[in-house]
Structure 1
Protein backbone atom coordinates (compact mmCIF):
# COMPACT_ATOMS: atom_id res chain seq x y z
CA UNK A 1 0.00 0.00 0.00
CA UNK A 2 2.78 2.45 0.92
CA UNK A 3 4.54 1.89 -2.40
CA UNK A 4 1.31 2.47 -4.33
CA UNK A 5 0.65 5.79 -2.57
CA UNK A 6 4.29 6.79 -3.03
CA UNK A 7 4.08 6.19 -6.78
CA UNK A 8 0.77 8.06 -7.04
CA UNK A 9 2.21 11.15 -5.36
CA UNK A 10 5.21 11.03 -7.68
CA UNK A 11 2.96 10.87 -10.74
CA UNK A 12 1.08 13.92 -9.46
CA UNK A 13 4.37 15.86 -9.52
CA UNK A 14 4.72 16.27 -5.77
CA UNK A 15 8.34 16.40 -4.69
CA UNK A 16 9.34 15.75 -1.11
CA UNK A 17 12.23 14.55 1.00
CA UNK A 18 13.34 10.94 1.34
CA UNK A 19 15.51 8.84 3.62
CA UNK A 20 18.49 6.93 2.24
CA UNK A 21 20.59 4.27 3.95
CA UNK A 22 23.78 2.36 3.19
CA UNK A 23 24.75 -0.55 5.44
CA UNK A 24 27.85 -1.32 3.34
CA UNK A 25 27.04 -4.92 2.55
CA UNK A 26 28.15 -4.43 -1.05
CA UNK A 27 30.01 -1.93 -3.19
CA UNK A 28 27.72 0.75 -4.64
CA UNK A 29 29.84 2.81 -7.02
CA UNK A 30 26.91 5.01 -8.08
CA UNK A 31 26.40 6.18 -4.50
CA UNK A 32 29.92 7.32 -3.62
CA UNK A 33 32.87 8.89 -5.43
CA UNK A 34 36.39 9.31 -4.08
CA UNK A 35 37.76 12.83 -4.35
CA UNK A 36 41.48 12.31 -3.96
CA UNK A 37 44.20 9.83 -4.84
CA UNK A 38 45.95 9.20 -1.53
CA UNK A 39 43.61 6.71 0.13
CA UNK A 40 41.93 3.34 -0.31
CA UNK A 41 38.26 2.76 0.50
CA UNK A 42 36.62 -0.64 0.42
CA UNK A 43 33.55 -2.48 1.67
CA UNK A 44 34.51 -5.42 3.84
CA UNK A 45 32.32 -7.62 6.08
CA UNK A 46 29.56 -5.04 6.41
CA UNK A 47 31.87 -2.07 7.00
CA UNK A 48 33.25 0.71 4.88
CA UNK A 49 36.98 0.84 5.68
CA UNK A 50 39.48 3.49 4.67
CA UNK A 51 43.18 4.13 5.02
CA UNK A 52 45.70 6.58 3.65
CA UNK A 53 47.89 5.03 0.97
CA UNK A 54 50.29 7.43 -0.70
CA UNK A 55 53.84 7.95 -1.89
CA UNK A 56 53.86 11.46 -0.46
CA UNK A 57 55.87 12.30 2.63
CA UNK A 58 55.75 15.09 5.20
CA UNK A 59 52.45 16.45 3.93
CA UNK A 60 48.85 16.71 5.18
CA UNK A 61 46.38 14.47 3.38
CA UNK A 62 42.70 15.35 2.81
CA UNK A 63 40.52 12.66 1.22
CA UNK A 64 36.78 12.99 0.61
CA UNK A 65 34.48 10.04 -0.12
CA UNK A 66 31.60 12.03 -1.57
CA UNK A 67 27.94 11.00 -1.46
CA UNK A 68 26.53 11.05 -5.01
CA UNK A 69 23.30 9.04 -4.85
CA UNK A 70 21.25 12.24 -4.43
CA UNK A 71 22.43 15.59 -5.71
CA UNK A 72 22.15 18.76 -3.62
CA UNK A 73 21.60 21.42 -2.60
CA UNK A 74 20.88 19.99 0.84
CA UNK A 75 18.85 21.62 3.58
CA UNK A 76 17.05 20.31 6.66
CA UNK A 77 18.90 17.00 6.58
CA UNK A 78 19.87 14.60 9.35
CA UNK A 79 22.86 12.29 9.00
CA UNK A 80 23.03 9.36 11.40
CA UNK A 81 26.15 7.19 11.43
CA UNK A 82 26.46 3.92 13.34
CA UNK A 83 29.75 2.54 14.66
CA UNK A 84 32.27 5.01 13.29
CA UNK A 85 35.88 5.36 14.33
CA UNK A 86 39.55 5.67 13.53
CA UNK A 87 42.75 4.18 14.89
CA UNK A 88 46.21 5.65 14.53
CA UNK A 89 47.27 9.17 13.58
CA UNK A 90 44.27 10.03 11.42
CA UNK A 91 40.92 11.76 11.86
CA UNK A 92 37.69 10.46 10.36
CA UNK A 93 34.17 11.78 10.18
CA UNK A 94 31.57 13.47 8.01
CA UNK A 95 32.02 16.59 5.87
CA UNK A 96 29.46 19.13 4.73
CA UNK A 97 30.68 21.44 1.99
CA UNK A 98 29.66 24.19 -0.39
CA UNK A 99 31.04 25.47 -3.70
CA UNK A 100 31.62 29.21 -3.96
CA UNK A 101 31.66 30.73 -7.44
CA UNK A 102 33.22 33.87 -8.91
CA UNK A 103 31.55 36.33 -11.28
CA UNK A 104 32.34 34.06 -14.24
CA UNK A 105 30.45 31.15 -12.65
CA UNK A 106 33.73 29.31 -12.02
CA UNK A 107 34.45 27.54 -8.75
CA UNK A 108 36.55 29.91 -6.68
CA UNK A 109 36.81 27.78 -3.56
CA UNK A 110 35.12 24.99 -1.63
CA UNK A 111 34.30 25.52 2.02
CA UNK A 112 33.85 22.63 4.44
CA UNK A 113 32.84 21.94 7.97
CA UNK A 114 34.52 18.71 9.08
CA UNK A 115 32.89 16.81 11.92
CA UNK A 116 35.29 14.15 13.19
CA UNK A 117 34.68 11.62 15.93
CA UNK A 118 37.02 13.58 18.20
CA UNK A 119 37.22 17.07 16.73
CA UNK A 120 35.66 19.66 14.42
CA UNK A 121 37.31 21.99 11.92
CA UNK A 122 36.46 24.44 9.19
CA UNK A 123 38.40 24.06 5.95
CA UNK A 124 38.89 25.82 2.64
CA UNK A 125 39.76 23.68 -0.36
CA UNK A 126 40.73 20.77 1.86
CA UNK A 127 43.34 22.64 3.89
CA UNK A 128 43.36 21.35 7.46
CA UNK A 129 45.25 22.04 10.68
CA UNK A 130 46.52 18.80 12.16
CA UNK A 131 47.62 19.66 15.65
CA UNK A 132 47.83 17.22 18.56
CA UNK A 133 44.77 18.61 20.32
CA UNK A 134 41.32 17.02 20.33
CA UNK A 135 38.02 18.52 21.44
CA UNK A 136 36.74 15.16 22.62
CA UNK A 137 38.52 11.97 23.68
CA UNK A 138 36.45 9.72 21.46
CA UNK A 139 38.26 8.26 18.48
CA UNK A 140 35.26 5.94 18.00
CA UNK A 141 31.53 6.43 18.53
CA UNK A 142 28.60 4.06 18.59
CA UNK A 143 26.49 6.79 17.04
CA UNK A 144 27.16 10.16 15.45
CA UNK A 145 24.27 12.41 14.44
CA UNK A 146 24.60 15.63 12.45
CA UNK A 147 21.62 17.86 11.71
CA UNK A 148 21.78 20.79 9.28
CA UNK A 149 18.93 23.22 8.73
CA UNK A 150 19.23 26.63 7.09
CA UNK A 151 22.74 27.36 8.33
CA UNK A 152 22.36 25.74 11.73
CA UNK A 153 24.66 22.81 12.54
CA UNK A 154 23.93 20.44 15.44
CA UNK A 155 26.31 17.60 16.27
CA UNK A 156 25.66 14.74 18.70
CA UNK A 157 28.03 12.00 19.81
CA UNK A 158 26.56 8.94 21.51
CA UNK A 159 23.44 10.91 22.42
CA UNK A 160 25.22 13.96 23.87
CA UNK A 161 25.13 17.40 22.27
CA UNK A 162 28.61 18.42 21.13
CA UNK A 163 28.10 21.49 18.97
CA UNK A 164 25.26 23.81 18.04
CA UNK A 165 26.12 26.84 15.92
CA UNK A 166 24.95 28.88 12.94
CA UNK A 167 26.66 30.12 9.80
CA UNK A 168 24.51 32.66 7.97
CA UNK A 169 26.69 32.31 4.86
CA UNK A 170 25.64 28.68 4.43
CA UNK A 171 21.84 28.43 4.11
CA UNK A 172 22.32 25.31 1.98
CA UNK A 173 25.13 22.82 1.39
CA UNK A 174 25.94 20.89 -1.77
CA UNK A 175 28.53 18.34 -0.58
CA UNK A 176 28.11 15.42 1.82
CA UNK A 177 30.87 12.90 2.33
CA UNK A 178 33.09 10.94 4.63
CA UNK A 179 36.38 12.71 5.27
CA UNK A 180 39.74 11.18 6.12
CA UNK A 181 42.68 13.39 7.06
CA UNK A 182 46.15 12.77 8.38
CA UNK A 183 49.75 13.89 8.21
CA UNK A 184 52.09 11.48 6.47
CA UNK A 185 55.74 11.39 7.42
CA UNK A 186 57.95 8.55 6.21
CA UNK A 187 55.57 5.93 7.60
CA UNK A 188 53.72 3.78 5.10
CA UNK A 189 50.65 3.23 7.28
CA UNK A 190 49.42 5.84 9.77
CA UNK A 191 46.06 4.32 10.68
CA UNK A 192 42.69 3.13 9.45
CA UNK A 193 39.05 4.18 9.74
CA UNK A 194 35.73 2.38 9.61
CA UNK A 195 31.97 2.93 9.56
CA UNK A 196 29.14 0.42 9.81
CA UNK A 197 26.08 2.28 8.49
CA UNK A 198 24.91 5.72 7.40
CA UNK A 199 21.34 7.00 7.18
CA UNK A 200 20.52 10.37 5.60
CA UNK A 201 17.02 11.77 5.96
CA UNK A 202 15.56 14.89 4.37
CA UNK A 203 17.23 14.39 0.98
CA UNK A 204 15.72 16.33 -1.94
CA UNK A 205 14.21 14.22 -4.69
CA UNK A 206 12.44 15.14 -7.90
CA UNK A 207 9.17 13.46 -8.95
CA UNK A 208 11.06 11.65 -11.73
CA UNK A 209 13.71 10.32 -9.33
CA UNK A 210 11.01 9.42 -6.81
CA UNK A 211 9.12 7.34 -9.40
CA UNK A 212 12.34 5.60 -10.49
CA UNK A 213 13.13 4.76 -6.88
CA UNK A 214 9.60 3.49 -6.29
CA UNK A 215 9.67 1.17 -9.29
CA UNK A 216 13.06 -0.11 -8.15
CA UNK A 217 11.57 -1.07 -4.79
CA UNK A 218 8.49 -2.50 -6.49
CA UNK A 219 10.55 -4.77 -8.75
CA UNK A 220 12.56 -6.04 -5.78
CA UNK A 221 9.29 -6.94 -4.03
Structure 2
Protein backbone atom coordinates (compact mmCIF):
# COMPACT_ATOMS: atom_id res chain seq x y z
CA UNK A 1 0.00 0.00 0.00
CA UNK A 2 1.37 3.44 -0.93
CA UNK A 3 1.86 6.24 1.57
CA UNK A 4 -1.02 8.14 -0.01
CA UNK A 5 -3.37 5.20 0.45
CA UNK A 6 -2.24 4.73 4.07
CA UNK A 7 -2.94 8.40 4.79
CA UNK A 8 -6.40 8.13 3.25
CA UNK A 9 -7.16 4.98 5.25
CA UNK A 10 -6.10 6.64 8.51
CA UNK A 11 -8.17 9.72 7.75
CA UNK A 12 -11.19 7.55 7.02
CA UNK A 13 -10.75 5.65 10.30
CA UNK A 14 -10.47 8.89 12.30
CA UNK A 15 -13.57 10.30 10.62
CA UNK A 16 -15.51 7.11 11.41
CA UNK A 17 -14.42 7.23 15.06
CA UNK A 18 -15.45 10.86 15.38
CA UNK A 19 -18.81 10.09 13.78
CA UNK A 20 -19.37 7.16 16.12
CA UNK A 21 -18.48 9.27 19.12
CA UNK A 22 -20.92 11.93 18.02
CA UNK A 23 -23.69 9.35 17.63
CA UNK A 24 -23.06 7.96 21.11
CA UNK A 25 -23.21 11.45 22.59
CA UNK A 26 -26.55 12.15 20.94
CA UNK A 27 -28.16 8.83 21.88
CA UNK A 28 -26.90 8.67 25.47
CA UNK A 29 -26.04 12.13 26.84
CA UNK A 30 -23.69 11.87 29.85
CA UNK A 31 -25.94 14.05 32.02
CA UNK A 32 -28.71 11.42 31.91
CA UNK A 33 -26.46 8.86 33.57
CA UNK A 34 -25.18 11.42 36.08
CA UNK A 35 -28.69 12.52 37.09
CA UNK A 36 -30.14 9.02 37.43
CA UNK A 37 -30.87 7.69 40.95
CA UNK A 38 -28.45 5.17 42.44
CA UNK A 39 -30.59 2.03 42.77
CA UNK A 40 -29.75 -0.72 45.28
CA UNK A 41 -31.75 -3.90 44.73
CA UNK A 42 -32.88 -6.45 47.32
CA UNK A 43 -35.46 -9.08 48.23
CA UNK A 44 -38.07 -9.49 50.95
CA UNK A 45 -36.49 -10.14 54.34
CA UNK A 46 -33.05 -8.77 53.44
CA UNK A 47 -31.80 -5.31 54.43
CA UNK A 48 -30.88 -2.87 51.68
CA UNK A 49 -28.26 -0.40 52.88
CA UNK A 50 -28.42 3.10 51.38
CA UNK A 51 -26.00 5.89 52.23
CA UNK A 52 -28.61 7.47 54.53
CA UNK A 53 -30.77 4.55 55.74
CA UNK A 54 -31.17 0.79 56.06
CA UNK A 55 -34.41 -0.49 54.56
CA UNK A 56 -36.02 -3.91 55.04
CA UNK A 57 -39.26 -5.18 53.54
CA UNK A 58 -40.42 -7.52 56.30
CA UNK A 59 -43.37 -9.15 54.58
CA UNK A 60 -45.88 -8.74 51.77
CA UNK A 61 -49.59 -9.56 51.99
CA UNK A 62 -52.81 -8.96 50.11
CA UNK A 63 -56.33 -8.08 51.21
CA UNK A 64 -59.59 -7.07 49.57
CA UNK A 65 -60.43 -4.70 52.43
CA UNK A 66 -58.56 -2.85 55.18
CA UNK A 67 -60.14 -1.88 58.49
CA UNK A 68 -58.80 0.67 60.98
CA UNK A 69 -60.81 2.17 63.87
CA UNK A 70 -64.08 1.33 62.15
CA UNK A 71 -62.97 2.87 58.87
CA UNK A 72 -63.29 0.30 56.08
CA UNK A 73 -61.46 0.74 52.79
CA UNK A 74 -62.36 -1.58 49.93
CA UNK A 75 -59.91 -2.05 47.07
CA UNK A 76 -60.91 -1.45 43.48
CA UNK A 77 -58.51 -4.29 42.64
CA UNK A 78 -56.66 -5.78 45.59
CA UNK A 79 -54.54 -4.20 48.30
CA UNK A 80 -50.90 -5.23 48.14
CA UNK A 81 -49.71 -4.56 51.69
CA UNK A 82 -45.98 -4.04 52.19
CA UNK A 83 -44.57 -4.00 55.74
CA UNK A 84 -41.34 -2.01 55.87
CA UNK A 85 -38.73 -1.10 58.48
CA UNK A 86 -36.51 1.87 57.66
CA UNK A 87 -33.74 3.13 59.95
CA UNK A 88 -32.08 6.46 59.08
CA UNK A 89 -28.34 6.26 59.72
CA UNK A 90 -27.27 9.92 59.53
CA UNK A 91 -30.10 12.30 60.35
CA UNK A 92 -33.87 12.59 60.57
CA UNK A 93 -35.13 11.38 57.22
CA UNK A 94 -38.53 11.61 55.57
CA UNK A 95 -39.28 8.90 53.05
CA UNK A 96 -41.28 10.70 50.37
CA UNK A 97 -40.56 8.45 47.41
CA UNK A 98 -42.63 5.32 48.02
CA UNK A 99 -44.17 3.36 45.16
CA UNK A 100 -44.72 -0.02 43.56
CA UNK A 101 -43.33 -0.64 40.09
CA UNK A 102 -45.13 -3.38 38.15
CA UNK A 103 -43.63 -5.67 35.54
CA UNK A 104 -44.49 -3.21 32.77
CA UNK A 105 -42.81 -0.30 34.54
CA UNK A 106 -46.05 1.37 35.64
CA UNK A 107 -45.89 3.22 38.96
CA UNK A 108 -48.41 3.05 41.81
CA UNK A 109 -48.47 5.32 44.86
CA UNK A 110 -49.56 4.05 48.29
CA UNK A 111 -53.22 4.46 49.14
CA UNK A 112 -53.78 7.05 51.87
CA UNK A 113 -56.75 5.18 53.33
CA UNK A 114 -57.66 3.29 56.50
CA UNK A 115 -54.55 4.48 58.37
CA UNK A 116 -52.11 3.02 55.84
CA UNK A 117 -48.78 4.84 55.72
CA UNK A 118 -48.09 7.35 52.96
CA UNK A 119 -44.90 9.29 53.72
CA UNK A 120 -43.10 8.76 57.02
CA UNK A 121 -40.07 10.09 58.85
CA UNK A 122 -37.80 9.03 61.70
CA UNK A 123 -34.67 10.33 63.49
CA UNK A 124 -31.29 8.71 63.00
CA UNK A 125 -30.90 5.33 64.68
CA UNK A 126 -34.64 4.79 65.21
CA UNK A 127 -36.58 2.07 63.40
CA UNK A 128 -39.56 3.31 61.44
CA UNK A 129 -42.13 0.55 60.98
CA UNK A 130 -44.59 1.40 58.23
CA UNK A 131 -47.40 -0.39 56.42
CA UNK A 132 -47.87 0.73 52.82
CA UNK A 133 -51.04 -0.31 50.99
CA UNK A 134 -51.20 -0.28 47.20
CA UNK A 135 -54.51 -0.72 45.36
CA UNK A 136 -53.41 -2.72 42.32
CA UNK A 137 -55.20 -4.19 39.31
CA UNK A 138 -54.73 -7.88 38.60
CA UNK A 139 -52.13 -7.43 35.87
CA UNK A 140 -49.89 -5.31 38.14
CA UNK A 141 -49.23 -8.02 40.74
CA UNK A 142 -46.90 -10.32 38.83
CA UNK A 143 -43.33 -9.06 38.96
CA UNK A 144 -44.18 -6.06 41.16
CA UNK A 145 -41.30 -4.40 43.01
CA UNK A 146 -41.28 -1.97 45.94
CA UNK A 147 -39.29 1.26 45.63
CA UNK A 148 -38.47 3.68 48.45
CA UNK A 149 -36.26 6.76 48.77
CA UNK A 150 -36.19 10.15 50.43
CA UNK A 151 -36.74 12.14 47.24
CA UNK A 152 -40.24 12.70 45.87
CA UNK A 153 -41.09 9.97 43.35
CA UNK A 154 -42.18 11.88 40.25
CA UNK A 155 -43.07 9.86 37.16
CA UNK A 156 -39.56 10.45 35.80
CA UNK A 157 -37.92 10.16 39.25
CA UNK A 158 -36.57 13.67 38.83
CA UNK A 159 -36.96 14.20 42.58
CA UNK A 160 -34.42 11.43 43.19
CA UNK A 161 -31.62 12.61 40.93
CA UNK A 162 -28.18 11.49 42.10
CA UNK A 163 -29.73 10.04 45.26
CA UNK A 164 -29.92 6.49 46.58
CA UNK A 165 -33.13 4.47 46.41
CA UNK A 166 -33.99 0.87 47.31
CA UNK A 167 -35.77 -1.42 44.86
CA UNK A 168 -37.06 -4.65 46.38
CA UNK A 169 -38.27 -7.67 44.43
CA UNK A 170 -41.48 -8.79 46.16
CA UNK A 171 -41.26 -12.36 44.88
CA UNK A 172 -44.57 -12.24 43.02
CA UNK A 173 -44.28 -14.99 40.44
CA UNK A 174 -47.38 -15.93 38.37
CA UNK A 175 -48.62 -18.53 40.87
CA UNK A 176 -48.21 -16.24 43.88
CA UNK A 177 -49.79 -13.30 42.09
CA UNK A 178 -52.79 -15.44 41.15
CA UNK A 179 -53.20 -16.69 44.71
CA UNK A 180 -53.11 -13.17 46.11
CA UNK A 181 -55.67 -11.95 43.61
CA UNK A 182 -58.07 -14.79 44.49
CA UNK A 183 -57.77 -14.24 48.26
CA UNK A 184 -60.73 -12.60 49.99
CA UNK A 185 -59.14 -11.38 53.20
CA UNK A 186 -59.74 -8.42 55.49
CA UNK A 187 -56.72 -6.75 57.10
CA UNK A 188 -57.13 -4.86 60.36
CA UNK A 189 -54.61 -2.14 61.18
CA UNK A 190 -54.15 -0.54 64.59
CA UNK A 191 -51.76 1.94 66.10
CA UNK A 192 -48.92 0.32 67.99
CA UNK A 193 -47.11 1.53 71.09
CA UNK A 194 -43.75 3.26 70.93
CA UNK A 195 -42.55 6.36 69.13
CA UNK A 196 -40.74 4.34 66.47
CA UNK A 197 -43.88 2.50 65.37
CA UNK A 198 -46.24 3.93 62.79
CA UNK A 199 -48.60 1.00 62.38
CA UNK A 200 -48.70 -2.54 63.65
CA UNK A 201 -50.55 -4.97 61.39
CA UNK A 202 -52.81 -7.65 62.79
CA UNK A 203 -54.17 -10.41 60.55
CA UNK A 204 -55.62 -12.16 58.91
CA UNK A 205 -54.23 -11.53 55.45
CA UNK A 206 -52.73 -13.69 52.76
CA UNK A 207 -48.92 -13.59 53.06
CA UNK A 208 -46.30 -13.93 50.38
CA UNK A 209 -43.66 -16.61 51.17
CA UNK A 210 -40.21 -15.19 51.82
CA UNK A 211 -37.77 -15.94 49.00
CA UNK A 212 -35.01 -16.69 51.51
CA UNK A 213 -34.79 -18.65 54.75
CA UNK A 214 -33.97 -15.98 57.31
CA UNK A 215 -33.57 -18.45 60.15
CA UNK A 216 -33.25 -17.35 63.76
CA UNK A 217 -30.71 -15.10 65.42
CA UNK A 218 -27.94 -16.43 67.66
CA UNK A 219 -29.76 -15.03 70.70
CA UNK A 220 -32.97 -16.81 69.72
CA UNK A 221 -31.15 -20.09 69.19
CA UNK A 222 -29.35 -19.76 72.53
CA UNK A 223 -32.61 -19.15 74.34
CA UNK A 224 -34.45 -22.06 72.76
TM-score over 0.5 for the pair: no
Structure number with the bigger relative contact order (C-alpha 8 A, sep ≥ 6) is 1
Q: Considering fraction of residues, name the structure with more helix.
A: 2
Structure with higher Rg: it is 2
Q: TM-score, normalised by structure 2?
A: 0.29
Q: Considering fraction of residues, name the structure with more strand.
A: 1
